[in-house]
Structure 1
Amino acid sequence: MMRLLTNLPDHIVGVSASGQIDAKDYETVLIPAIDAALRKHKRIRVLYQLTTDFEGFTTGAMWDDAKLGLAHLLAWERIAVVTDVHWVANATRMFAFLLPGLVKVFSNEEQSDAEKWIAA
């Protein structure tokens, strides 16, 4: 399940993901939020939190994530990934250089630091 974080400025899309994330989560929550933010701003920031009860991504979700990233390649100003899932943190760090914006990984304990960094 994915839900929007509502306490952020409108140039920042924040989502919290728990349980199993599937393509429907991307298609009904994240993609519409990204599209709405991009109608107002040329570049946006994203805070993506995987909660402690995150279980994984379906293949469809991973495909939608890749398509979303590539479709808006120059739109990403900053991306904060908040997770305690080691493979997600490591993959994010490994591929961060492919994105034109800044990417930083935070633990779930550092959620407030991630919110400050993404808004700075």
Structure 2
Amino acid sequence: MLTELHFGLQGVKDFQRNQSIFDNNYMEPVGMGFQDLSWRDSALGQVRIYTAESHLDIPNVSSAMGTAFDRKTYQGIHGIDVMSRFYAENGISLEQYYQAYANVVNELKKNNWRQF
């Protein structure tokens, strides 16, 4: 099942619609808040992350965490951390592992995404 995530205020709605675990510490003046989604090893997820210009599909996702900042400048989700599992225990061969990883890296490069 595909889970679609956006940045900004739409991202908050996306995480909540997908029944995220919500930590509302962002309500503190200088705090941060997090919204977490997780999938079981037996049913890893597929996440599509949208920006204004493009989107990125990430397979075999075990968790996704959205980060929001303090309430004075609160504009929703500012960052999304994704943990994806590409290894033999998921029932894929080394060749499939490499191809899945290479596909994600190529999509990152094609869309000018950067890791921070």
TM-based fold match above 0.5: no
Larger Rg: 2
